[in-house]
Amino acid sequence: MNLTQIRRSLLAGALALPMLAVTVPAMAQQAHKAQGEKYKIYLSMSYIGNDWQAEATNMVKAMAKTPALKDRVNLEIQVAGTNAQKQIQQINAMIQAGADAIVVYPISPTALNQVIKRACSKNIKVFAYDAEVTEPCAYNVHMDQTEAGTAMGEWLARKLDGKGNVVMITGVPGTSVDKLRTEGAKAVFAKYPGIKVIGEAPGMWSQAVARTELSKLVAVHGWDKIDGLWMQVGCYTADSMQIEAGHDAARLLPCAGEGSNGGRIQMLPAATQVDGASGTYAPMNAPRFSYASPPYSGALALKLAVEALDGKDVPKLTVLPLPKITNETVKLCKGGTWKEMHEGCNVFVPAIVKNPGWFASIYSDQTEGLGLDAALNGEPDPQ
């Protein structure tokens, strides 16, 4: 071999090294699968102080127990709270522990980017659900949050004939979800000179916090000065507060808000017979637009993470359809299996779902087998 041939051989070897570095982790995952070993997948939670997060966690657990995944996934869950630095530390530990994939509810769209990039460099699949992250190597699974805020605002503006005083109860400050929803609604209200936002407060996506903050606003303005409500969470509570104040159930304020089970029960015609209904957790034909950030998003993210690990082509962005339930489309479920929801029902009897703040938009055609028991107890439908 002459000097030129030696140089060419060395250059070819050098060029092959980066390719080898990239493919070794992928080959390890393939060997993982070939040997029948389970994928090690972590769920990284941030904020958990509301019903939505509890449901989302249960649905991730249920997905891991479905026939398709129960013998393929080891799921571990960690909670960081609202501290971005703690979530970063936990994800670093997941990387060190040999994670194959990380499913994450991020406390910030940008704060986790560096640690996510590090995970990707180790060939770890990172899927953010509901709230987004901006690191390009990550996958995002969420609905269009701007569309949610816009749709709520448009319904309320039309219901008020383009004029009136509106109170806004927003979500968890600092999250992309809250920011985009609120911006979407305010952009709509800006098109209607007759609509005035007279009060705004963060409700933390909690019925209890919404009650506290709305009580403060009502103390300042009085119910008689409010014409409509825009609430990321809290319409059920707002109607309950009006009833408690002695208002006629037939004259409740229109509310654009979350898909809580209590709120949707209130939307049903007042004469509807519902097992377990009582007090304000009962049908009253409440004027309502019920959107939802679907709690199944984490479960779908887990399913997609396994597909990505298996080498399937998974898009970096999965946009979920926005549920838009009105008084005309609300429909009572008798039991709550995935099959029954597939046939169109979207609210559950209080005798089964005892917490009115529980979120009802748990159905997806992509999460077959995850019905009411998944969201309540972390278990898939019986086979």
The neighbouring-strand residues paired with 288 are 255
Q: What is the pTM of this model?
A: 0.86
Q: How far apart are CA 350 and CA 277, in angstroms?
A: 6
Q: At residue 23, does pLDDT exceed 70? A: no
16 in any annotated domain? yes
What does the angle CA 144 – CA 187 – CA 262 come to, to the nearest 5 degrees? 55
**Is the Cα dihedral 221, 227, 229, 230 positive or negative?**
negative
3 in any annotated domain? yes
258 in any annotated domain? no
For the chain, how far is it from start to end, CA to CA, in angstroms?
A: 67
Q: Are 276 and 352 in contact (CB under 8 A)?
A: yes
94 in any annotated domain? no
6 in any annotated domain? yes
C-alpha distances out from residue 85 to 162, 240, 247, 331, 373, Å: 44, 39, 47, 43, 34
380 in any annotated domain? no
130 in any annotated domain? no
pLDDT digits (tens, 9 = 90+) for 282-336: 999 999 999 988 999 999 999 999 999 999 999 999 999 999 999 999 999 999 9
Number of domains composing the chain: 1
Q: How far apart are CA 24 and CA 74, in angstroms?
A: 22
8 in any annotated domain? yes
pLDDT digits (tens, 9 = 90+) for 255-284: 999 899 999 999 999 999 999 999 999 999
CA dihedral 173, 175, 176, 181 (to 10 degrees): -40
Q: At residue 28, does pLDDT exceed 70? A: no
Token pair, residue 17, equals 């090294």
- 329-365: buried (b, 16+ CB within 10 Å) or exposed (e) per residue? ebebbeebbbebbeeebbbbbbebbeebbbbbbbbbe
Q: At residue 1, does pLDDT exceed 90? A: no
What range does the domain containing 6 cover? 1-27
Q: Which contiguous run of DSSP H or E holds residue 194?
A: strand 194-202
What is the average pLDDT across 62-87?
A: 95
Residue 161: which region, alpha, beta or left (left: phi > 0; alpha: psi -120 to 50)?
left
Q: For a pLDDT cut of 70, what percent of the chain falls above it?
A: 90
pLDDT digits (tens, 9 = 90+) for 128-167: 999 899 999 999 999 999 999 999 999 999 999 999 999 9
Q: How far apart are CA 55 and CA 323, in angstroms?
A: 17
Q: How far apart are CA 289 and CA 255, in angstroms?
A: 7
